[in-house]
């Protein structure tokens, strides 16, 4: 097999490696209801997820109730519930483990860069992908900017000594992910199996729109 040139592949988590949508929606609806607000439907959450939990709550709250104090109340109801129920329905997307196996077998380094808060990001990755040696598992942390800021990608790159931007691919399922890759100066792959539409991803001209994880492996093997 031809040796792969790309040394580091960084993955988004929600909507890319893991289908977390139902657990996020259930926890957010629980928090909304606890605070006296109506639930949202699953398709609405497809558009809300990916910009960090504070923006998730602000999007889910009704108009006129998006102030900081209300967002914090929803957060305080969400986090304890999600910490318990974050893995009730969450599963890896078909083919993701095979992709990680193939990349690892070819000496490609792996990392995760998510806007999900750090504790949940680490626990879900360790639970579902424990046999893989990720260089780093990065989520939303206090004092760190969230995507689309390039900082999280640059931090992941710093963990792979000597890697150049042209040796890095960032794979995600949203406009936020595509813009993050652009901001970091790395190549992007759009995962069309995730939460957002192909059209949304295509607008950012990623180097690949992948309909399944195998297409990512084939693409990297040929570049």
Q: What is the mean pLDDT of the chain?
A: 96
Share of the chain residues as helix, strand and coil, in percent rounded to the nearest 5: 45, 15, 35
What pLDDT is attached to residue 4? 47
What is the torsional sign of CA 24, 192, 91, 154? negative
Whether residue 170 contacts residue 181, with contact meaning beta carbons closer than 8 Å, is answered with yes
The DSSP element (H or E) to which 19 belongs, if any, is strand 18-19
Measured from the Cβ of residue 205, the count of other Cβ atoms closer than 10 Å reads 11
In the structure, what pLDDT confidence band is assigned to residue 186 with cuts at 50, 70 and 90? very high
pLDDT at residue 70 greater than cutoff 90: yes
Mean pLDDT of the 169-190 span: 98
Say how far apart CA 59 and CA 57 lie, in whole Å: 5
Say how far apart CA 204 and CA 173 lie, in whole Å: 12
Helices (H), the chain: 21-34, 42-48, 53-60, 68-85, 96-105, 118-128, 151-158, 175-184, 198-202, 213-222
The DSSP element (H or E) to which 208 belongs, if any, is strand 208-210
The upper half-sphere exposure of residue 82, i.e. CA atoms within 13 Å in the direction of its Cβ, equals 27
In the structure, what pLDDT confidence band is assigned to residue 3 with cuts at 50, 70 and 90? very low
What domains, with CATH codes, occur in the chain? 8-19+92-222 (3.40.50.1000), 21-85 (1.10.150.240)
Q: What is the pLDDT of residues 26-45, one digit of tens each?
A: 999 999 999 999 999 999 99
> pTM for the complete prediction?
0.95
Instruction: Find how far residue 126's CA is from the centre of its chain.
Output: 15
Three-class secondary structure of residue 9 per DSSP:
strand
What pLDDT is attached to residue 67? 97
Question: What percent of the chain lies above the pLDDT cut of 90?
Answer: 95
The upper half-sphere exposure of residue 19, i.e. CA atoms within 13 Å in the direction of its Cβ, equals 12
């Amino acid at each position: 097999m031809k040796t792969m040139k790309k040394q580091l592949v960084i993955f988004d988590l929600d909507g890319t490696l893991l289908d977390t949508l139902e657990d996020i929606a259930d926890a957010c609806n629980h928090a909304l209801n606890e605070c006296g607000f109506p639930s949202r439907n699953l398709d609405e959450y497809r558009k809300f997820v990916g910009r960090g939990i504070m923006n998730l709550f602000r999007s889910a709250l009704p108009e006129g109730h998006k102030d900081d104090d209300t967002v914090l109340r929803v957060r305080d109801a969400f986090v304890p519930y999600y910490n318990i129920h974050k893995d009730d329905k969450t599963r890896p997307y078909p083919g993701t483990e095979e992709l990680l196996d193939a990349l690892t077998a070819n000496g490609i380094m792996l990392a995760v860069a998510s806007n999900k808060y750090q504790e949940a990001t680490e626990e879900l990755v360790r639970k579902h992908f424990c046999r893989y040696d990720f260089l780093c598992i990065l989520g939303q942390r206090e004092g760190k900017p969230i995507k689309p800021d390039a900082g999280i990608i640059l931090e992941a790159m710093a963990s792979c000594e000597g890697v150049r931007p042209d040796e890095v691919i960032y794979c995600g399922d949203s406009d936020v992910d595509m813009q993050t890759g652009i901001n970091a100066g790395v190549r992007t792959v759009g995962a069309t199996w995730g939460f957002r539409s192909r059209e949304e991803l295509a607008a950012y001209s990623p180097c690949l729109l992948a309909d399944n994880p195998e297409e990512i492996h084939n693409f990297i093997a040929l570049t």
